[in-house]
Amino acid sequence: MTSEPSVVEVILESDLKNLEVAEEIVRRVAGIAGLGEESEHQIEMAVHESMINAIWHGNKNDASKSVWLRFDVYKDRLEIRVRDQGNGFNVAEIPDPCSTENLLKVSGRGIFLIRTFMDEFQVRYLPGSGTEVTMVKLIDPAHQAKQGGTEREHESHNSTS
Chain residues binding another protein by CB under 8 A are 16, 19, 41, 45, 48-49, 52, 56, 97-98, 103-107, 109-110, 112-113, 116
Asked if 112 and 98 count as a contact pair (C-beta separation under 8 A), the reply is yes
Compute, in degrees rounded to 10, the torsion defined by CA atoms 73, 67, 12, 61.
150
For residues 73 and 91, which CB has a smaller minimum distance to another protein in the complex?
91
Q: Which of 90, 19, 89, 24 is nearest to 49 (CA)?
A: 19
Task: Compute the least distance from the CB of residue 22 to another protein, in Å.
Answer: 12
Task: Compute the least distance from the CB of residue 45 to another protein, in Å.
Answer: 7
Helix (H, G, I), strand (E, B) or coil at 12: strand
For residues 37 and 76, which CB has a smaller minimum distance to another protein in the complex?
37
For residues 112 and 125, which CB has a smaller minimum distance to another protein in the complex?
112
| Sequence-ordered alpha helix ranges (H) in the chain | 19-33, 37-52, 110-117, 144-147
For residues 110 and 130, which CB has a smaller minimum distance to another protein in the complex?
110
What is the tally of helices (H) and strands (E) in the chain?
4, 6
Task: Compute the least distance from the CB of residue 121 to another protein, in Å.
Answer: 15
Task: Compute the least distance from the CB of residue 158 to another protein, in Å.
Answer: 21
